Amino acid sequence: MTTTPRQHQASQRRRDQSSRLEKAGRSGTPVQITLNAVLAALEGNEPKVLCVTRGADHLALPYGPFDPREHRTFERGLRDWVARQTRLSLGYVEQLYTFGDRGREGLGRSLETPIEHLVSVGYLALAGDAAPVDDADARWRSWYRFFPWEDWRAGKPALLSDAILPALDRWTDNRAGTVGDHRRSRVETAFGLNDLGWEEERILERFELMYEAGLVGETPLHESADQKDQPPDVNLKARTGLTMASDHRRILATAIARLRGKLKYRPVIFEMMGPTFTLFDLQRAVEAIVGFALHKQNFRRSVESTGLLMRTGSMSDQTGGRPAALFSVNREALRDRADMGLVIPRLGQKLRAPAKS
């Protein structure tokens, strides 16, 4: 990394150093690799994520070390580690993002002493059900406990209109000129103001804006307290969901965003369903993930037309009304059509009245 172009001709070339562009490939400081897992599952109508307690009072995502001597791939390491610690059967597993230790974009560094030279590889893993975990410190929690403003299933959360949006407004007004304009533009896009419409996948953008504006517990006091910004609102911080250690809430947001997006072009939802289910069960599962209610008749139309489902022949009498047909996944079709997703419209003005059951 210290060679300049001018030194080129003078440099002796060895086999591994035949180009400046690759010259330094073997050097660098060794680092520790940690695997960080967002384990997601559905329990009833709630999307849940497995959390552990870190230290006295912080929630965190479970994590484990990656030892290259033991495992050939990250994913194997992760599966092995989860299998040992829980009895969960992981279906879908997907790498999310790799965070260089000090590269976590400033999020949450105030919560702990930074560990130098630590790299964490984040994974999203879907479990078939939120099975109890044999560990007193591990608990499934609804992910909307961490992002209460993301749950529109019963209508627009009052927290948004009452507290978050006004606070973001103040945050943009704090600055004049391009800084303020830029902030406003980001807020408008992320939160779907001015008819732009709420896009469920922007959960990470929303969280990052709230972090920057000092509206979440993870924001260090000094970050939003420069000369021109208002002091952070302590009362509001208490209402914007549970806090997590380090940048784990950000990783969780990344995972939710990925899952919300993935639903649309991969049939991953079936990784989280039991062996049989009604169409409305499936709809509630999707609604739990995307965070808003869907049009029932259109949902069944689109799902039935995929050909991914088979009627089992039996009926569910758990409905409270007319019995519903039970379906199961057509695994063969699923294998061949791994490219199919569900049609998930954008959140419209009209929200289905929440089911009473």
Considering the rule CB under 7 A, would residue 279 count as an interface residue with DNA? yes
**Interface of this chain with a second copy, residues 260 to 279, rule: CB under 8 A:** none
Considering the rule CB under 7 A, would residue 319 count as an interface residue with DNA? yes
Considering the rule CB under 8 A, would residue 71 count as an interface residue with a second copy? yes
Considering the rule CB under 8 A, would residue 345 count as an interface residue with a second copy? no
* Nearest-5° Cα angle at 59, 53 to 62: 65
Q: Smallest Cα–Cα separation from 281: which of 50, 92, 89, 42?
A: 42
| Residue from the set 1, 10, 176, 353 that interacts with a second copy by CB under 8 A | 1
Residue type, 20: R
Residue the block writes with tokens 């050097």: 27
* 26 backbone dihedrals φ, ψ, rounded to 5°: -100, -5
* 93 backbone dihedrals φ, ψ, rounded to 5°: -130, 135
76 contacts which partner out of DNA, a second copy, none, CB within 5 to 8 A by kind? Answer: a second copy
Considering the rule CB under 8 A, would residue 26 count as an interface residue with a second copy? yes
| Residue from the set 20, 156, 186, 300 that interacts with DNA by CB under 7 A | 300
| Residue from the set 7, 11, 44, 70 that interacts with a second copy by CB under 8 A | 70
**Interface of this chain with a second copy, residues 96 to 155, rule: CB under 8 A:** 97-98, 100-103, 105, 115-117, 119, 121, 133-138
Nearer to a second copy, 307 or 354 (CB): 307
11 contacts which partner out of DNA, a second copy, none, CB within 5 to 8 A by kind? Answer: none
Q: Is 131 helix (H, G, I), strand (E, B) or coil?
A: coil
Q: How far apart are CA 266 and CA 268, in angstroms?
A: 6
Specify whether the CB–CB gap between 109 and 115 falls below 8 A. no
* 2 backbone dihedrals φ, ψ, rounded to 5°: -100, -5
Nearer to a second copy, 123 or 149 (CB): 123
| Residue from the set 14, 72, 228, 322 that interacts with DNA by CB under 7 A | 322
Integer-rounded Cα Rg, in Å, for the chain is 23
| DSSP states of 196-255 | T---GGGHHHHHHHHHHTT-STTS-TTTS-STTSPPP-HHHHTTS---BSTTHHHHHHHH
Specify whether the CB–CB gap between 164 and 156 falls below 8 A. no
Considering the rule CB under 7 A, would residue 301 count as an interface residue with DNA? yes
| Residue from the set 20, 141, 145, 237 that interacts with a second copy by CB under 8 A | 20
Which residue ranges make up the site for DNA (CB under 7 A)? 278-280, 295-298, 300-302, 315, 317, 319-325, 343, 345-346, 348-350, 355-357
